[in-house]
Homo-oligomer: A and B are copies of this chain.
Amino acid sequence: MNKAAYHHGDLRTALLEAADTLLAEQGAAGLSLRAVAKRAGVSHTAPYRHFRDKAALLSALAAEGFRLLAEGLEAAAARHVDDPARQLKEAGRVYVTTALAHPQRARLMFGGNVALSDHDPVYQAAGERAFNGLQQIIHAGQAAGVFRDDPVRPLALSLWSAVHGLVMLLLAEQIGDVPAGDPARVATMISWVTEVTLSGVLHRDSPGNS
Protein backbone atom coordinates (compact mmCIF):
# COMPACT_ATOMS: atom_id res chain seq x y z
CA MET A 1 0.00 0.00 0.00
CA ASN A 2 2.99 2.33 -0.20
CA LYS A 3 2.93 4.97 -2.88
CA ALA A 4 5.17 3.15 -5.29
CA ALA A 5 3.07 -0.01 -5.15
CA TYR A 6 -0.21 1.88 -5.27
CA HIS A 7 0.77 3.60 -8.46
CA HIS A 8 2.14 0.48 -9.98
CA GLY A 9 -0.24 -1.27 -12.30
CA ASP A 10 -3.32 -0.21 -10.41
CA LEU A 11 -3.43 3.45 -11.30
CA ARG A 12 -6.45 2.86 -13.48
CA THR A 13 -8.45 1.59 -10.53
CA ALA A 14 -7.11 4.36 -8.31
CA LEU A 15 -8.21 6.96 -10.86
CA LEU A 16 -11.66 5.46 -11.12
CA GLU A 17 -12.04 5.46 -7.36
CA ALA A 18 -10.88 9.05 -7.10
CA ALA A 19 -13.20 10.04 -9.91
CA ASP A 20 -16.14 8.27 -8.29
CA THR A 21 -15.56 10.15 -5.05
CA LEU A 22 -15.29 13.49 -6.78
CA LEU A 23 -18.32 12.68 -8.91
CA ALA A 24 -20.42 11.98 -5.85
CA GLU A 25 -19.23 15.21 -4.24
CA GLN A 26 -19.57 17.67 -7.08
CA GLY A 27 -21.23 16.02 -10.02
CA ALA A 28 -19.85 15.40 -13.47
CA ALA A 29 -19.79 19.09 -14.36
CA GLY A 30 -17.50 19.99 -11.48
CA LEU A 31 -15.22 17.04 -11.96
CA SER A 32 -11.86 17.92 -13.46
CA LEU A 33 -9.36 15.45 -14.73
CA ARG A 34 -6.63 17.37 -12.98
CA ALA A 35 -8.41 17.05 -9.65
CA VAL A 36 -8.83 13.33 -10.20
CA ALA A 37 -5.13 12.96 -10.88
CA LYS A 38 -4.23 15.04 -7.85
CA ARG A 39 -6.48 12.95 -5.63
CA ALA A 40 -4.84 9.81 -6.95
CA GLY A 41 -1.47 11.36 -6.10
CA VAL A 42 -0.23 11.54 -9.63
CA SER A 43 0.64 14.21 -12.19
CA HIS A 44 -2.18 15.67 -14.23
CA THR A 45 -1.06 13.96 -17.40
CA ALA A 46 -0.80 10.47 -15.95
CA PRO A 47 -4.51 9.65 -16.55
CA TYR A 48 -3.87 9.77 -20.29
CA ARG A 49 -1.95 6.52 -19.94
CA HIS A 50 -5.20 4.80 -19.01
CA PHE A 51 -7.98 6.85 -20.58
CA ARG A 52 -8.03 8.43 -24.00
CA ASP A 53 -9.60 11.59 -22.60
CA LYS A 54 -11.89 12.87 -19.88
CA ALA A 55 -14.97 11.48 -21.59
CA ALA A 56 -13.45 8.01 -21.57
CA LEU A 57 -12.96 8.18 -17.80
CA LEU A 58 -16.55 9.31 -17.24
CA SER A 59 -17.66 6.65 -19.64
CA ALA A 60 -15.92 3.97 -17.61
CA LEU A 61 -17.60 5.31 -14.49
CA ALA A 62 -21.01 5.13 -16.13
CA ALA A 63 -20.30 1.65 -17.45
CA GLU A 64 -19.61 0.44 -13.93
CA GLY A 65 -22.93 1.96 -12.87
CA PHE A 66 -24.79 0.11 -15.61
CA ARG A 67 -23.13 -3.13 -14.60
CA LEU A 68 -24.16 -2.71 -10.97
CA LEU A 69 -27.70 -1.80 -11.95
CA ALA A 70 -28.05 -4.81 -14.24
CA GLU A 71 -26.83 -7.10 -11.49
CA GLY A 72 -29.26 -5.64 -9.00
CA LEU A 73 -32.13 -6.07 -11.42
CA GLU A 74 -31.26 -9.67 -12.12
CA ALA A 75 -30.97 -10.45 -8.42
CA ALA A 76 -34.37 -8.89 -7.82
CA ALA A 77 -35.94 -10.91 -10.60
CA ALA A 78 -34.37 -14.09 -9.30
CA ARG A 79 -35.98 -13.58 -5.90
CA HIS A 80 -39.60 -14.10 -7.00
CA VAL A 81 -39.43 -16.36 -10.00
CA ASP A 82 -42.95 -17.71 -9.62
CA ASP A 83 -44.64 -14.31 -9.31
CA PRO A 84 -44.15 -12.17 -12.42
CA ALA A 85 -46.06 -9.17 -11.09
CA ARG A 86 -43.92 -9.18 -7.98
CA GLN A 87 -40.80 -9.55 -10.09
CA LEU A 88 -41.70 -6.40 -11.98
CA LYS A 89 -42.49 -4.44 -8.85
CA GLU A 90 -39.26 -5.49 -7.17
CA ALA A 91 -37.17 -4.76 -10.23
CA GLY A 92 -38.76 -1.34 -10.45
CA ARG A 93 -38.00 -0.69 -6.82
CA VAL A 94 -34.37 -1.72 -7.29
CA TYR A 95 -34.06 0.44 -10.41
CA VAL A 96 -35.22 3.54 -8.60
CA THR A 97 -33.43 3.04 -5.30
CA THR A 98 -30.15 2.09 -6.95
CA ALA A 99 -30.20 5.24 -9.06
CA LEU A 100 -31.13 7.47 -6.13
CA ALA A 101 -28.43 5.92 -3.95
CA HIS A 102 -25.85 7.46 -6.31
CA PRO A 103 -27.65 10.41 -7.84
CA GLN A 104 -24.65 11.99 -9.54
CA ARG A 105 -23.65 8.70 -11.07
CA ALA A 106 -27.23 8.20 -12.23
CA ARG A 107 -27.27 11.65 -13.81
CA LEU A 108 -24.09 10.71 -15.58
CA MET A 109 -25.55 7.41 -16.76
CA PHE A 110 -28.92 8.72 -17.85
CA GLY A 111 -28.37 12.39 -18.58
CA GLY A 112 -27.10 11.73 -22.05
CA ASN A 113 -24.52 14.47 -21.62
CA VAL A 114 -21.44 12.33 -21.81
CA ALA A 115 -20.61 10.78 -25.11
CA LEU A 116 -21.79 7.47 -23.76
CA SER A 117 -22.89 6.42 -27.20
CA ASP A 118 -19.26 6.37 -28.24
CA HIS A 119 -19.76 2.76 -29.14
CA ASP A 120 -18.67 1.60 -25.74
CA PRO A 121 -20.28 -1.84 -25.97
CA VAL A 122 -20.87 -1.97 -22.22
CA TYR A 123 -23.90 0.31 -22.41
CA GLN A 124 -25.52 -1.58 -25.20
CA ALA A 125 -24.80 -4.84 -23.42
CA ALA A 126 -26.15 -3.76 -20.03
CA GLY A 127 -29.20 -2.13 -21.57
CA GLU A 128 -30.04 -5.08 -23.78
CA ARG A 129 -29.53 -7.54 -20.94
CA ALA A 130 -31.88 -5.61 -18.69
CA PHE A 131 -34.47 -5.16 -21.41
CA ASN A 132 -34.33 -8.83 -22.37
CA GLY A 133 -34.81 -9.80 -18.74
CA LEU A 134 -37.82 -7.55 -18.58
CA GLN A 135 -39.31 -9.12 -21.68
CA GLN A 136 -38.73 -12.60 -20.32
CA ILE A 137 -40.61 -11.78 -17.14
CA ILE A 138 -43.51 -10.44 -19.18
CA HIS A 139 -43.51 -13.50 -21.37
CA ALA A 140 -43.61 -15.76 -18.32
CA GLY A 141 -46.43 -13.68 -16.88
CA GLN A 142 -48.39 -14.08 -20.09
CA ALA A 143 -47.79 -17.82 -20.12
CA ALA A 144 -49.08 -17.95 -16.55
CA GLY A 145 -52.16 -15.98 -17.57
CA VAL A 146 -51.35 -13.09 -15.25
CA PHE A 147 -50.49 -10.52 -17.92
CA ARG A 148 -52.43 -9.41 -20.95
CA ASP A 149 -51.62 -11.27 -24.11
CA ASP A 150 -50.46 -8.18 -25.97
CA PRO A 151 -47.17 -7.89 -27.86
CA VAL A 152 -44.32 -7.96 -25.40
CA ARG A 153 -42.26 -5.01 -26.62
CA PRO A 154 -44.89 -2.31 -26.00
CA LEU A 155 -45.53 -3.67 -22.54
CA ALA A 156 -41.83 -3.83 -21.71
CA LEU A 157 -41.13 -0.36 -23.04
CA SER A 158 -44.00 1.10 -21.06
CA LEU A 159 -42.86 -0.42 -17.80
CA TRP A 160 -39.29 0.65 -18.41
CA SER A 161 -40.37 4.18 -19.33
CA ALA A 162 -42.55 4.56 -16.26
CA VAL A 163 -39.84 3.50 -13.84
CA HIS A 164 -37.11 5.39 -15.67
CA GLY A 165 -39.26 8.50 -15.80
CA LEU A 166 -39.85 8.38 -12.07
CA VAL A 167 -36.12 8.16 -11.50
CA MET A 168 -35.43 11.12 -13.74
CA LEU A 169 -38.17 13.26 -12.24
CA LEU A 170 -36.85 12.56 -8.77
CA LEU A 171 -33.24 13.17 -9.81
CA ALA A 172 -34.12 16.49 -11.39
CA GLU A 173 -36.21 17.38 -8.36
CA GLN A 174 -39.06 18.11 -10.67
CA ILE A 175 -41.72 16.52 -8.52
CA GLY A 176 -43.22 19.36 -6.58
CA ASP A 177 -43.49 18.19 -3.02
CA VAL A 178 -40.70 15.66 -2.80
CA PRO A 179 -37.22 16.95 -1.98
CA ALA A 180 -35.92 13.67 -3.45
CA GLY A 181 -34.46 12.76 -0.10
CA ASP A 182 -37.39 11.25 1.72
CA PRO A 183 -37.11 7.46 1.30
CA ALA A 184 -40.61 6.77 2.56
CA ARG A 185 -42.24 9.10 0.07
CA VAL A 186 -40.03 7.75 -2.67
CA ALA A 187 -41.09 4.22 -1.78
CA THR A 188 -44.71 5.28 -1.98
CA MET A 189 -44.22 6.77 -5.40
CA ILE A 190 -42.51 3.65 -6.66
CA SER A 191 -45.51 1.61 -5.55
CA TRP A 192 -47.89 4.02 -7.20
CA VAL A 193 -46.13 3.97 -10.51
CA THR A 194 -45.53 0.25 -10.74
CA GLU A 195 -49.04 -0.64 -9.61
CA VAL A 196 -50.80 1.86 -11.83
CA THR A 197 -48.72 0.82 -14.80
CA LEU A 198 -49.56 -2.81 -14.14
CA SER A 199 -53.26 -2.15 -13.64
CA GLY A 200 -53.82 0.71 -16.06
CA VAL A 201 -55.71 3.92 -15.76
CA LEU A 202 -58.87 3.10 -17.62
CA HIS A 203 -61.92 1.94 -15.76
CA ARG A 204 -62.36 -1.80 -15.65
CA ASP A 205 -65.39 -3.76 -14.51
CA SER A 206 -63.51 -6.62 -12.88
CA PRO A 207 -60.58 -5.18 -10.92
CA GLY A 208 -58.84 -8.27 -9.58
CA ASN A 209 -55.56 -6.51 -8.85
CA SER A 210 -53.74 -7.00 -5.58
Contacts and interface: CB of A to CB of B under 8 A. Distances in A.
A177 to B, nearest CB: 10
Nearest to A162: B162
A165 B172 contact: no
Label chain A's interface by main secondary structure.
helix
A201 B127 contact: no
Interface stretch (A1-9, A17-25, A37-45, A104-112): A104-112
A117 interface: yes
A199 interface: yes
A170 to B, nearest CB: 9
A193 interface: yes
Contacts of A107: 111-113
Interface of A: 27-29, 85, 88, 107, 110-113, 116-117, 123-124, 127-128, 131, 138, 145-150, 153-155, 157-169, 171-176, 189, 192-193, 195-206, 208-209
